Amino acid sequence: MPRQTAEAPPPSTGAFARADQGPAPFAALDLGTNNCRLLLAAPTSTGFRVVDSFSRIVRLGEGLATTGRLGEIPMERAAAALRACAEKLARRPVRRLEAVATEACRRAENGAAFLARITAETGLRLRVISAREEAELAMESCAPLLEPGDRRALLFDIGGGSTEIAWIRVTADGNPELIGYVSLPLGVVTLAERAGSSCFTEHGFFEVVDEVAAHLARFDQVHRIGQEIRAGGVRLMGTSGTVTTLAGVAMALPRYRRPLVDGKTLDCQAADLALGDLFALGREGLAAHPCVGPERVEFVLPGCAVYAAIRRVWPTPRLTVADRGLREGMLTRMMRAERQASRNRAR
């Protein structure tokens, strides 16, 4: 299975390498409910090397749960980020670009109109993907973290507008196969808007935990995941800002560093203690914490409540943390398709 190399992208000084300095990279763009992210990468013998990246909190789904529509101010924030992405892409030729939008644009009445506006303004064509494809891409990106002895994997992605759960069978040759998934309309943005400051109280926090756990229990009844966990060989994997934050706190990092977190397997008790530490900090403490910061204060505890529900329904001894997601999954797919096309031409 391909592995992503851990090299950090070069400094963003406006100095993209010229086309004659190497082959054009692939590009993957993910417009989520909370973030807009772009990743450019070149294939290597073991996976890919990151060339440049972009990430900005845009809160596109702000107010969506109440109105059913994308608001003007959130759309403008997202449009500004997408214009920045388009400018990056214009400065360097790319071999292929995949651009997707997720839960906010899936749910919003005006989601299609907003994406048409983006195409007219920037030339970027974003494809709205289904919840299943979102789970498949997350699985694709996290596949390299599977290890010998894993029979199954339970992968969760706590997003801005939804939480995706993927139940995965590991085949005899070590490849992942999606055998079940569920998308809960409960993400950090939607929960933060609905719960407000109540998540900062013990009562409000556990109300969210109870609600999410009830959804997960129904999924568990279908797939008997708890039974499989008790039999052994099930890897719990999390990919989201929530789990990477928990890892950073559990590891006592003075500042967040992706290479130290991505692929790290934590004792779940350590992650639980980190959750308790975050809850105890309160709003001001979270804003000052180097692994959180003021922009994410409102979203950390709702995400932690979703994680706590997952731990309640599926208690496992260890958690594998993945700082990777849809972009890495798209890049892996594009590069594999190109290799297959090259082999077909050679035949």
What would the DSSP string read from start to end of 129-176?
PPHHHHHHHHHHHHGGG--TT--EEEEEEE-SS-EEEEEEEEPTTS-E
18, pLDDT greater than 60: no
Decide: helix, strand or coil at residue 78.
Answer: helix
pLDDT value for 89: 95
**Residue 224: left if φ>0, alpha if ψ -120 to 50, beta else—which one?**
left
Look at the block and give the residue holding tokens 């300095």: 21
Look at the block and give the residue holding tokens 């997408």: 82
197, pLDDT greater than 90: no
Tell me how far CA of residue 224 lies from CA of 62, 180, 314, in angstroms.
Answer: 35, 11, 10
Of 61, 49, 37, give the one whose Cα is nearest residue 10.
49
Query: Who contacts 205 (Cβ-Cβ below 8 Å, separation ≥6)?
Result: 198, 199, 279, 301, 304, 305, 308
Across the strands, what pairs with 303?
Answer: none
Q: Cα separation of 80 and 235, whole Å?
A: 39
Decide: helix, strand or coil at residue 241.
Answer: helix
Per-residue pLDDT band for 79 (boundaries 50, 70, 90) equals very high
What would the DSSP string read from start to end of 58-75?
--TTTTHHHHSS--HHHH
Burial of 165 (0-12, 13-18, 19+ CB in 10 A): buried
Of 346, 318, 330, 325, give the one whose Cα is nearest residue 149.
318
pLDDT value for 244: 95
Mean pLDDT of the chain: 90
Q: Cα separation of 179 and 156, whole Å?
A: 14
Q: Cα separation of 250 and 44, whole Å?
A: 32
Tens-digit pLDDT profile for residues 90-129: 998 899 999 999 999 999 999 999 999 999 999 999 999 9
Burial of 337 (0-12, 13-18, 19+ CB in 10 A): exposed
Evaluate whether 318 touches 268 at the Cβ level (below 8 Å): yes
User: What is the pTM for the complete model shown?
Assistant: 0.86
Q: How many CB atoms lie within 10 A of CB 283?
A: 14
Tens-digit pLDDT profile for residues 294-342: 989 999 999 999 999 999 999 999 999 999 999 999 999 999 999 888 8
